[in-house]
Amino acid sequence: MTEKVALITGGAKGIGRAIALDLTEQGWSVAICYRTSEKEAKETLEAIEKKGSRGLQVKCDVSDPKAAEGFVKEVEKEWGRIDALINCAGPYHRVNILDETIEGWHSMFDNNLHPVFYMSRAVAPGMKERKWGRIINFSMANADKLSAQSEITAHYIAKAGILILTRSLARMLAPHGITVNAISPGFINSGSAPEEELAKMVKTIPAGYVGNLQDAVGAARFLLSEEAGYINGSNIHLSGGWGL
């Protein structure tokens, strides 16, 4: 295949945007979706097209299963295929578990865990038909430790659930030439956290520094490659040793 198609949720900014632009440089066509970041989505689309690749931006709330399925169908209708799904969407809020609201609790699962299932389920048939596919899900460093997280409890449980979902999908899709893997970032300077907050965390990172967008891009690039075809159900810690 000389040209592949990637679909990236949360691709308007941060890690999703960085991966989109990197794939563009490799000749991929890239479709991104956004929920509220319209300005950033337009800028990302312009950057994709400026590099000479095909781009598509769609306003879509992937926490809605019908909307998620519709996004997949729109991309497949437009370009005929989806070779890679990268699930980057995943907001969080910080609140003590005893002060969490019912709405806030549900929102963490609706926006982090459930879309990974909705989107993976929707792209799987096409990938199975072509006997090739890549799915990358984003969890978080230390989610596999199942430790107490009193301030981000629902978010943390959702991210731990992504690891279980990743392994389950990998097992089911491996016979069809499809890999499903997770990347678990620690502290990455992606533009979503204040610089001063990241600076305070450096002392907790064994590597001694905060990661950057290119660290995430490199991990995703490898998992999407032919060289990673035998890696399935894995979880890459992208944390400089934090969370181990």
User: Would you state the structure tokens that stand for residue 235, as one six-digit string?
Assistant: 């979880």
Catalytically annotated residue among 34, 92, 118, 156: 156
Residue 177's nearest CA partner among 112, 226, 142 is: 226
> Hunting for tokens 């950033």 — which residue is that?
40
Tokens for 37, please give them. Answer: 């970041």
Neighbouring-strand partners of residue 55: 30
From residue 217, give the alpha-carbon distance in Å to each of 83, 156, 185, 237.
Answer: 17, 23, 11, 13
Phi and psi at residue 111, in whole multiples of 5°?
-105, -10
Alpha-carbon gap, residue 100 to 187, rounded angstroms: 24
**What is the gyration radius of the CA atoms in the chain, in angstroms?**
17
Q: Is 156 a catalytic residue?
A: yes
Give me the amino acid identity at 12.
A
Catalytic residues: 156
